[in-house]
Amino acid sequence: MHKRITELQEQLRQGRISRRDFIRYTTILGLSLGAAEALAACAPKPTPTPTPTLWPWPLHIPDESGIVPTPEWQPTPRPPTTPTPTVFRPTATPTPVMWEEATWSCPGCEKGFPTQEAWINHILTEHEWKIPGARRVSRPTYSQFLVGPVERFDQKNHVFSRTVWDEEYKALLSKVTPQKASDGFKALEGAALKAGAIYVDETAGSLHPRYYGYTGHLKDVGGLYNWDDPVNPEQYPVSDPAQMSERIKKVGRFYGADLVGICEVDQRWVYSHYFERETGAYGVLDIPYKYAIVLGIEMDWEGIDQSPGFEASAATALGYSRMAEVAPPLAKYIRALGYPAVPSGNDTAQSIPIAIDAGLGELGRNGLLITPEFGPRLRICKVFTDLPVKPDQPIDFGLQRFCEMCHACAQQCPAGAIRRGERTTEPTSISNRTGILRWPVDVAKCYLFWQENGTDCANCVAACPWALPIRPWL
């Protein structure tokens, strides 16, 4: 592994891989194989200084046979006045400078240690870990972090809704100057790619003239997300809900979903009120259905990997168009079987906890659903129904522990919106739920960055090691 990290380091130095890829690959190495070296390699990017401060690289930890390799040079502890390492790839000094009360900072969790030995010991005990296999569990892994009353979330407090009514936030947004593209034609082509990608959702998802895709249902305007299609009065008999679940999953995949899961609807995740930012309509929401069929749509890796830019934005937009092509046909199928069904995009309920309940994945540090198959590189839509089905159990694939050690998304967030430290119940704004111990994402900061950037961002998707399309480490 040491050799592999050194190779990656060399590739980074030569500009053959991006810093994001470097972080991602070393994270994978560190967390899947268990090693201090990968974490050390993820130290913040240095500012070159004429006299380098030595950073303990490479580390000398026992190999598989328990032998500690002979150091090629003597590492020098960093001085206490340097909170973070400033040099990424040091060279040895013939006469190491010794500092009293030296501090060794863990690049994983940022704790400080007085000696290198304590520092290595910490990394090997706290950050060495092997990824367990995925297993079905009786309760979703977020349950252990529900520490207070969890109220239903009002869609009006969603950051996108706030851009319409929250004067304070609107004032902040008005101060942002969007970056001007250095290549106007390239930007034009990128915008065209995105326009084509969202076209299906925008023109067919909802038929309101101000609908511009991305939301899902708008009341009483028709379109694919329409709730009011008639239900067949003749009902298909369901004697075996488990068999019907299998059938529904097959049909969901037939219509284009990449993942399908089923759960009972937990009303805590249904919005207390709907808010349509296109029309300003606001009211109490009632979703009285027993089950949610959750559909996951993979987003194109090559596009997402170009974040933050038009290619990534187009990959996201295409995900929304595919949502409009998958959830409404599945709802139509269920209605034609004689059972009520409501297709939903981002409207009606928070898709992430519902998808976790349906066994698709777990909640990540970046606030997104992380699935074993695609990581966070997934769009989610759902169909609410009373069709008799058997729910899936949630899964645990070790992500909670993984995210405690991996900070790749936080390191790659240009807005500093993803928390690096421990979990907390403190919300960053009214756009976060309370009562949950987690890493709340500062979505207000995130959206400000989108405005400044001129298009949306998916760095926290692209940076996640689980988002990689090929993962031999799994």
Chain positions 112 to 171 lying near ligand SF4, rule: CB under 6 A, are none
Torsion sign (Cα): 91, 94, 97, 102: positive
Q: What is the DSSP string of 91-140?
A: ---SSPPP-TT--EE-TTT--EESSHHHHHHHHHHHS---PPPPEE-SS-
Shortest separation between residue 284's beta carbon and ligand SF4, angstroms: 30
User: How would you label 307-342 residue by residue, b for 16+ Cβ within 10 Å and e otherwise?
Assistant: bbbbbbbbbbbbbbbbbbbbbbbbbbbbbebebbbb
Q: How many residues bind ligand SF4 (CB under 6 A)?
A: 26
Q: What is the SS3 assignment for 24?
A: helix
Shortest separation between residue 31's beta carbon and ligand SF4, angstroms: 8
Which of 28, 324, 369, 464 binds ligand SF4 (CB under 6 A)? It is 464
Shortest separation between residue 445's beta carbon and ligand SF4, angstroms: 7
Query: 300 phi and psi, to 5 degrees?
Result: -60, 125
Shortest separation between residue 201's beta carbon and ligand SF4, angstroms: 20
8 or 389: CB nearest ligand SF4: 8
Chain positions 352 to 381 lying near ligand SF4, rule: CB under 6 A, are 364-366, 370
80 or 416: CB nearest ligand SF4: 416
Chain positions 25 to 64 lying near ligand SF4, rule: CB under 6 A, are none
Which residues are 360's β-sheet partners? Answer: none
86 or 432: CB nearest ligand SF4: 432
Residue 60's CB: how many other CB atoms inside 10 A?
A: 16
Distance CA 231, CA 332 (A): 9
102 or 410: CB nearest ligand SF4: 410
| 406 lines the binding site for ligand SF4 (CB under 6 A) | yes
Tokens linked to 348: 């009606």
Shortest separation between residue 308's beta carbon and ligand SF4, angstroms: 6
Chain positions 96 to 115 lying near ligand SF4, rule: CB under 6 A, are none
Shortest separation between residue 1's beta carbon and ligand SF4, angstroms: 19
317 or 406: CB nearest ligand SF4: 406
Q: Tell me, what DSSP letter sits at residue 57? A: -
Residue 246's CB: how many other CB atoms inside 10 A?
A: 13
Q: Which residues bind ligand SF4 (CB under 6 A)?
A: 364-366, 370, 402-403, 406-409, 413-415, 417-418, 441, 446, 449, 457-460, 463-466
